[in-house]
Chains A and B, each alone.
Chain A
Amino acid sequence: MAANAQTIETVEGLAGDYKYGFVTDIESDILAKGLSEDTVRFISAKKGEPQWMLDWRLRAYKAWLRMAREKGEPTWAKVSYPEIDFQDIHYYSAPKKKTLKSLDEVDPELLATYEKLGIPLKEREILAGVAVDAVFDSVSVATTFKDKLKDMGIIFCSMSEAVREHPELVQKYLGSVVPVTDNFYATLNSAVFSDGSFVYVPPGVRCPMELSTYFRINEAKTGQFERTLLICDKGAYVSYLEGCTAPMRDDNQLHAAVVELVCLEDAEIRYATVQNWYPGDKNGKGGIYNFVTKRGACRGARSKISWTQVETGSAITWKYPSVILQGDDSIGEFYSVAVTNNAQQADTGTKMIHMGKNTKSTIISKGISAGKAQNTYRGLVRVMPGAAGARNYSQCDSLLIGDRCGGHTVPYIEVKNRSAKVEHEATTSRISDDQLFYCRQRGLSEEDAVSTIVNGFCKEVLQKLPMEFAVEAQKLLGVSLEGSVG
């Protein structure tokens, strides 16, 4: 069918051709490929870590070696890819750090990259790691934020800094939700994690702003093995945004991150992700393997953890943000949109483990498939014997575009307490010709029509995102589905 010139231009500009996929040639510290005990020691030394942290990593490394020998990578997910050669990966890469006084000193290549990405000047500075004193207003705004947080007792820093500055907190909580030997990728991450975010909100404090890596000066360049730890003490509240649309400068394929959330009595954590990593080309060449372990523990009574994710990127997504509902009356939520187009594969969902009395969980999952992509929702709702009065409501909807893609729903439900109530609903639908024609008759291009219909389909999830994020996510849905019809 003859698309108009404008559409062609848009498609050429965006589809297939990943907009953020260019390479920047810049001086950086790269460790030779390969994984050994020395790799682990090198990373730990680079970060100036204390002995206990190195020991922790080495324990993880030994465990991972055993896992690799005995079972290898997990194979139960509905994804397929060639075996990964773990010796063919760089485990450490960081741009050489200097303290810069102004943008003039920043590598012009790097600046050009940010410009291409359309990042506003003020943000470019932050990302480039300019030491920020009062050069530009906006930058001091970021500093002001940091000061304000500090005044309230909120710790928001990189994982490396936390290991050095707040060892008591890190030792207490790191690995307490995702144990070192939890799973193949999490164990690998425990051995070689490069950096990540650390947040601690003290008792009774409501974090006054959405925290995101955006404000985390100098720490934007976390590697492919991120480790994030968020602790919300009694009665505290925090909302955290993880945007993966920021420039990713890694040329490696594997991203194995771990995120741990700890929520004490009456505390609440909201964690939102918009993930748009390189999905590979139309035929499935290249792209990121996104193998992530995210888990939260509602340790205290009446605590609440809410995961919201919009996943549009990556060649393969393997990700199950989960909640362990230990405290009585605690609440777990999972709101997810996963889009797969062309040759992308996603196997994603959640686990809600009900342990405490009257614990509640809600799961809303929207899977969208186009091209020859495969999209699987895999979820577990487990009610333990002690979880009297537990409740779960799950709704899993799949939307298919075209007839070569697949949407699958694999719910596991295990109920060991008779007073529990578990409800599961699932639907599969297609974008109808009627809907497309109706939109187009009103003047919308075919791409906009698809994007409009898909956004409607995902509305319940999108409205859980903070405003700026929701707008970005909406645009992303449109972009990632371009070329999916016609």
Chain B
Amino acid sequence: MLEIKNLHATVDGKEILRGINLTIKAGEVHAVMGPNGSGKSTLSYVLAGRDGYEVTQGDILFHGRSLLGLEPEERARDGLFLAFQYPVEIPGVANATFLRSAVNAVRKHRGLADMDAMTFLKTAKAKMKQLQMDEKFLQRAVNMGFSGGEKKRNEVFQMLMLEPTLAILDETDSGLDIDALKIVAEGVNALRGPERSALVITHYQRLLDYIVPDVVHVLAGGRIIKTGGKDLALELEAKGYADIIADAA
């Protein structure tokens, strides 16, 4: 599904990712943990193809094809979804309008006809119910004035509508209350399947109680310094990063 090979990337000329190797097979969920500033969000942006994040070495294969020459929208249409750590506000654009354009852009790419307004509304309402989101959010402008938790829930809502094959969740759990955390985790789990994978970036092992990962990675200083099973998260929660970073050095 996703193969990251010796990935080096710079932002504004500064090297942030310094040789990342990571392979996610179809159906797997991987967690990435690591100290602030270690490069987790940078990795997610590089995967999504953000301008200004320059790959200087290595390659990223998605479904066996290199992503490097592809625009962000092409990657998105191919099934890569990023739930943003800081979702962006778009004044005046109704959430429903925005999401329907997105859904139809992806459908078009897959050779499907546009989803008509009625079907869209029905599907959207069903997903919102699943996430216990008020339908009013369809008419509100994208993320405008949403609380931190509401923004995160809205990201997961978009994900459920777009049905990506690879979902990258960048600290989607931060800012969620305990009940919301469960609901959002259930939303993510609902999308799990043999053909779908996820890369879950988090600081808290708590999330991984609900979304149980197959593999846990520790990212520090732009490199993956340790990889293990779900118990690694427990270990980190108990001991912090210091020992692992010292071991790796």
Identify which of B50, B82, B90, B106 contacts A435 (C-beta below 8 A): B90
State whether the Cβ of A467 lies closer than 8 Å to any Cβ in chain B.
no
Identify which of B52, B92, B99 contacts A456 (C-beta below 8 A): B92
Interface string of A405-420 (1 = CB under 8 A from B): 0000000000000000
Q: In the complex where A4-B71, A437-B50 touch, is A442 in contact with B92 (Cβ < 8 A)?
A: no
State whether the Cβ of A457 lies closer than 8 Å to any Cβ in chain B.
yes
Q: Which residue of B lies closest to A434 (CB)?
A: B88
Chain A interface residue count, Cβ-Cβ cutoff 8 angstroms: 27
Find out whether the CB atom of B73 lies under 8 angstroms from the CB atom of A2: no
Interface residues of B in 81-110 (CB under 8 A from A): 81-82, 84, 87-88, 90-93, 97-99, 101-102, 105-106, 109
State whether the Cβ of A441 lies closer than 8 Å to any Cβ in chain B.
yes
Contacts of B87 in A (CB 8 A): 438
State whether the Cβ of A455 lies closer than 8 Å to any Cβ in chain B.
yes
State whether the Cβ of A138 lies closer than 8 Å to any Cβ in chain B.
no
Find out whether the CB atom of B74 lies under 8 angstroms from the CB atom of A4: yes
State whether the Cβ of A123 lies closer than 8 Å to any Cβ in chain B.
no
Find out whether the CB atom of A440 lies under 8 angstroms from the CB atom of B93: no
Find out whether the CB atom of A455 lies under 8 angstroms from the CB atom of B92: yes
B169: min CB distance to chain A, Å: 13
State whether the Cβ of B67 lies closer than 8 Å to any Cβ in chain A.
no
A475: min CB distance to chain B, Å: 13
State whether the Cβ of A448 lies closer than 8 Å to any Cβ in chain B.
yes
State whether the Cβ of A459 lies closer than 8 Å to any Cβ in chain B.
yes
Find out whether the CB atom of B51 lies under 8 angstroms from the CB atom of A1: yes
Find out whether the CB atom of A1 lies under 8 angstroms from the CB atom of B92: no
Contacts of B84 in A (CB 8 A): 438, 441
B168: min CB distance to chain A, Å: 10
Contacts of A1 in B (CB 8 A): 51, 71
Find out whether the CB atom of B73 lies under 8 angstroms from the CB atom of A456: no
Interface residues of A in 180-225 (CB under 8 A from B): none
Find out whether the CB atom of B141 lies under 8 angstroms from the CB atom of A433: no
Chain B interface residue count, Cβ-Cβ cutoff 8 angstroms: 32
Interface string of B49-92 (1 = CB under 8 A from A): 01110000000000000000101111011000110100110111
Which of A4, A448, A452, A459 has the most chain B CB atoms closer than 10 A to its own CB?
A: A452
Q: In the complex where A3-B71, A4-B74, A456-B141 touch, is A442 in contact with B102 (Cβ < 8 A)?
A: yes
Interface string of B162-177 (1 = CB under 8 A from A): 1000000000000000
Contacts of A445 in B (CB 8 A): 73, 105
Contacts of B98 in A (CB 8 A): 439, 442, 452
A435: min CB distance to chain B, Å: 6
B207: min CB distance to chain A, Å: 22
Q: Which residue of A lies closest to B106 (CB)?
A: A443
A292: min CB distance to chain B, Å: 27
Interface string of A231-273 (1 = CB under 8 A from B): 0000000000000000000000000000000000000000000
Find out whether the CB atom of B71 lies under 8 angstroms from the CB atom of A441: no
Interface residues of B in 27-49 (CB under 8 A from A): 48
Contacts of A4 in B (CB 8 A): 71, 73-74
Q: Which residue of A lies closest to B71 (CB)?
A: A4
Contacts of A437 in B (CB 8 A): 48, 50-51, 72, 88
Interface string of B105-146 (1 = CB under 8 A from A): 110010000000000000000000000000000000110000
Find out whether the CB atom of A438 lies under 8 angstroms from the CB atom of B76: no
How far is B81's CA from A439's CA once the two chains are assembled, in angstroms? Answer: 12
A52: min CB distance to chain B, Å: 50
Identify which of A432, A435, A446, A460 contacts B73 (C-beta below 8 A): A446
Identify which of A443, A448, A452, A456 contacts B76 (C-beta below 8 A): A443
Find out whether the CB atom of A458 lies under 8 angstroms from the CB atom of B105: no
Nearest 4 CB-CB pairs, A to B?
A456-B92, A456-B93, A459-B92, A443-B105
Q: A437-B51, A442-B98 are in contact. List 17 more A-B contacts (CB 8 A).
A: A435-B88, A435-B90, A437-B88, A438-B90, A441-B73, A441-B76, A443-B106, A443-B162, A444-B73, A444-B101, A452-B90, A452-B97, A453-B90, A453-B93, A458-B92, A459-B92, A459-B93
Q: Can you list 9 A-B contacts (CB < 8 A)?
A: A2-B71, A435-B90, A438-B90, A440-B76, A442-B162, A443-B76, A443-B105, A446-B71, A452-B98
